[in-house]
């Protein structure tokens, strides 16, 4: 039975979703890393929030693990490279707490410009310091968004409702989308120089780490304010403290910090600074939403192969998954053929799709084909990491979709260029789901993918079939099926011979010695 471990505190609704999908669930919030290491090999899925650190050693122990699901958007606590290496899908729920986090950013902004926490503290001490807490209106002010994705776009919408003007820096934001959101798309320097308030809504990456550096702070207008509800590390905390002390920054409000839980921080006693303990997603609605969403996503993947909100694999809907499945299998088998007959260094791989195949997602097919091609020379290749393995070897990848009629209802063709030339294979699906070879090296040949076979390239001369039969007969090797193809009479020909027994090197040597044979390879096809 499929099993999922929940190692962080999630709404019990998640357990109900797994149960409804007939997935056995072990709810163990707060379980230690050592305990996880002992039991993780028993589970197909791991559902977490931010407390569990999914490290490389956990993933190495997780021999049956297929998916790690993060109830929330941030995945800094998951070693995604190790997950990819081990063929494990990493999912998150980028939409489940977007509204809640955006609302928290707006709440911090209002608190900051009106100094509400400080005024509250002063008033409850009986001081009544009205003149000390003169605030600033936000109407007509410029809000600068660094990141304008799911959360940033909601912040923009709320800010526009408050009659602010909004500009955004986001390399992935198109001009069309910016116009749709009614925000001004700008470069980072323009945003820094003109924004009255800057709110960060971007992941923490090598490119975004300390994106608000001392240099960036110096470019900001005097009296500007910063909101960070995204990730600790986006703002240089030491430089921010200095800017608050000099008054260059009028204020800052952070929900996230470089070190969490933040029991101590250089910003805590800085002037005009507001801190909250990573509350961005901390509403009942958000926690319920992300728990249900991650359970549904993981259940769909484990039960149907549907992939939603994955960070290391193309998304595949539950409707697409059954359609893709036979194509993925066909691509793997075709790749397996090429991988087994190619000893030369591979330079490039091209996948071509025709007929019905041109209307489906190509990335899962390429990933599966790469597994077949790379398996003979790579022990640890899988559908999740095959593209990165190919890239690490300098292999260029390309896909072409031909929107044209072909001789078959659907067609896949894979071409590999290697150091001495190129090899091709074409395949189709018979009756919608039965994989079949239809062409090798430009030579028509009809064959399924037999478990054990011989692939031969030979000269089309009389006596070849008899000579081959004699060699196999002497070794008590039974021929199950024989598929032939040729370019022209007396010219180059190919054969795919299905046999009932394994072929050893001695038999290969005898076949290779036949005068009509140009090459011979033992081939084994296993369904992926």
CB burial readout 237-263, b (16+ within 10 A) else e: bebbbbbbeeeebbbbbbbbbbeeebe
Active site residue 260: yes
CB burial readout 512-525, b (16+ within 10 A) else e: eebebbeebbbbeb
Integer Cα distance of 125 and 304 in angstroms: 60
171, containing H or E segment: none
Q: Is 279 helix (H, G, I), strand (E, B) or coil?
A: coil
Tokens at 267, concatenated: 């910003």
Q: Catalytic one among 259, 260, 344, 526?
A: 260
Tokens at 252, concatenated: 């800052």
Integer Cα distance of 368 and 384 in angstroms: 9
Tokens at 179, concatenated: 């116009």
Q: Which of 39, 9, 50 is nearest to 27 (CA)?
A: 9
Residue 459 burial (CB < 10 Å; 0-12/13-18/19+)? middle
Assess contact for 311 and 80: CB atoms under 8 A: yes
First to last CA, the chain: 21
Give the DSSP per-residue string, 441-470.
Answer: TTEEEEE---SEEEEEEEE--TTHHHHHHH
Residue 151 Rama label (left phi>0; alpha psi -120 to 50; beta): alpha
Integer Cα distance of 294 and 21 in angstroms: 13
Assess contact for 418 and 346: CB atoms under 8 A: yes
Residue 129 burial (CB < 10 Å; 0-12/13-18/19+)? exposed
Sheet containing strand 24-27, edge to edge, reads 24-27, 3-6, 45-48, 67-70, 89-91
Integer Cα distance of 101 and 264 in angstroms: 23
Q: Catalytic one among 49, 278, 296, 354?
A: 278
Which residue intervals of 87-186 are DSSP H helices? Answer: 98-113, 116-124, 150-161, 175-181
Active site residue 104: no
Tokens at 461, concatenated: 């001369």
Catalytically active residues are 231, 260, 278
């Amino acid at each position: 039975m499929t099993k999922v471990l929940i190692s962080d505190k999630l709404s019990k609704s998640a357990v109900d979703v797994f149960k409804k999908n007939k997935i056995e669930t072990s709810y163990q919030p707060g379980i230690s890393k050592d305990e996880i290491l002992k039991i993780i090999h028993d589970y197909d899925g791991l559902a977490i929030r931010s407390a569990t650190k999914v490290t490389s050693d956990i993933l190495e122990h997780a021999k049956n693990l297929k998916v790690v699901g993060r109830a929330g958007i941030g995945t800094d606590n998951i070693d995604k490279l190790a997950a990819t290496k081990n063929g494990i899908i990493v999912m998150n729920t980028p939409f489940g707490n977007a509204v809640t986090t955006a609302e928290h950013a707006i709440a911090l902004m209002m608190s900051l410009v009106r100094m509400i926490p400080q005024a509250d503290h002063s008033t409850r001490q009986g001081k009544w310091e009205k003149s000390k807490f003169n605030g600033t209106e936000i109407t007509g002010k410029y809000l600068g968004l660094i990141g304008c994705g799911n959360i940033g776009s909601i912040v923009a919408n709320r800010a526009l409702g408050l009659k602010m003007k909004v500009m955004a820096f986001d390399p992935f934001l198109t001009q069309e989308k910016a116009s749709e959101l009614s925000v001004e798309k700008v470069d980072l320097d323009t945003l820094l120089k003109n924004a009255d308030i800057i709110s960060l809504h971007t992941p923490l990456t090598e490119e975004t780490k300390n994106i608000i550096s001392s240099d960036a702070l110096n470019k900001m207008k005097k009296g500007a304010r910063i909101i960070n509800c995204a990730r600790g590390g986006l703002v240089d905390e030491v430089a921010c403290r200095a800017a608050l002390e000099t008054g260059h920054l009028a204020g800052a409000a952070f929900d996230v910090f470089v070190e969490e839980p933040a029991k101590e921080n250089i910003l805590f006693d800085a002037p005009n600074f507001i801190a909250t303990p990573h509350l961005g997603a901390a509403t009942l609605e958000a926690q319920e939403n992300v728990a249900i969403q991650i359970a549904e996503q993981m259940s769909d993947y484990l039960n149907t192969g549907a992939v939603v909100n994955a960070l290391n694999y193309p998304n595949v809907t539950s409707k697409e998954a059954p359609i893709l499945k036979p194509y993925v299998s066909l691509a793997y088998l075709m790749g397996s053929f090429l991988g087994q007959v190619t000893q030369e260094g591979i330079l490039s791989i091209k996948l071509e799709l025709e007929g019905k195949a041109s209307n489906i997602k190509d990335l899962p097919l390429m990933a599966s084909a790469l597994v077949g091609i790379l398996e003979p020379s790579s022990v640890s290749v899988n559908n999740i990491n095959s593209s990165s393995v190919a890239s690490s070897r300098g292999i260029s990848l390309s896909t072409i979709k031909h929107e044209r009629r072909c001789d078959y209802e659907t067609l896949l063709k894979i071409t590999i260029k290697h150091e001495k030339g190129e090899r091709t294979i074409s395949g189709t699906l018979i009756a919608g789901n039965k994989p079949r070879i239809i062409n090798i090296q430009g030579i028509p040949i009809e064959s399924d993918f037999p478990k054990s076979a011989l692939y031969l390239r030979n000269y089309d001369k009389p006596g070849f079939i008899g000579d081959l039969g004699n060699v196999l007969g002497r070794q008590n090797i039974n021929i199950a099926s024989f598929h032939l193809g040729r370019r022209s009479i007396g010219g180059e020909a190919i054969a795919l011979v299905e046999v009932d027994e394994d072929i050893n090197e001695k038999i290969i040597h005898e076949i290779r010695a036949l005068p009509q044979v140009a090459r011979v390879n033992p081939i084994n096809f296993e369904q992926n």
